Amino acid sequence: MSAILNHAIRRQFGATAARNMSGTAAVAGEHSGGYKVWKRLSFFVAVPAVGLCMLNAYLKHQEEHDKPRQEFVKYEYLRRREKRFPWGEGQKSLFHNPHVNPLPDGYEH
């Protein structure tokens, strides 16, 4: 029974694949300037879109840059150092940013 089922499935998928590949090739015939469409799309849509994204990122960065830093409040449950970090003086994490990340005693600058 399984041999008959196996043969039927193989015949069905083989016929389907042969039918799908019997049509004309995708590269046959005229291209009729399809590259011109993509070239124009690249220059008139993609490049201005990238420029607008760059402008948006720059303006958002300037907006964040102008904000004053939050006042440091020392909470007993934040920035606890049970064990020193194995690099430097042991108080700064590996990706420490002195302008944003405070130490347990406060900001550096």
CB 91 within 8 A of CB 104: yes
Task: Give SS3 for 95.
Answer: coil
What's the token pair of residue 57? 């990122």
- Same domain, yes or no: 77 and 95: yes
Q: Is the per-residue pLDDT at 53 higher than 90? A: yes
- Does 20 reside within a domain? no
CB 91 within 8 A of CB 85: yes
- Does 85 reside within a domain? yes
Task: Please indicate whether residue 14 or residue 19 has the higher confidence score (pLDDT).
Answer: 14
User: What is the band of 20 on the pLDDT scale with cuts at 50, 70, 90?
Assistant: low
- Does 88 reside within a domain? yes
CB 85 within 8 A of CB 94: yes
- Does 99 reside within a domain? yes
CB within 8 Å of 94: residues ≥ 6 apart: 85, 87
CB 93 within 8 A of CB 101: yes
Q: Is the per-residue pLDDT at 48 higher than 70? A: yes
Number of domains in the chain: 2
- Does 98 reside within a domain? yes
pLDDT, tens digit (0-9, with 9 covering 90-100), for 82-98: 898 899 888 888 999 88
- Same domain, yes or no: 54 and 78: no
- Same domain, yes or no: 102 and 87: yes
- Same domain, yes or no: 61 and 94: no
User: What is the band of 70 on the pLDDT scale with cuts at 50, 70, 90?
Assistant: confident
Q: Is the per-residue pLDDT at 25 higher than 60? A: no
- Same domain, yes or no: 81 and 108: yes
Task: Give the model's pLDDT for residue 40.
Answer: 92
- Does 13 reside within a domain? no
Residue 62: give the domain boundaries.
Answer: 34-67
- Does 75 reside within a domain? yes
- Does 17 reside within a domain? no
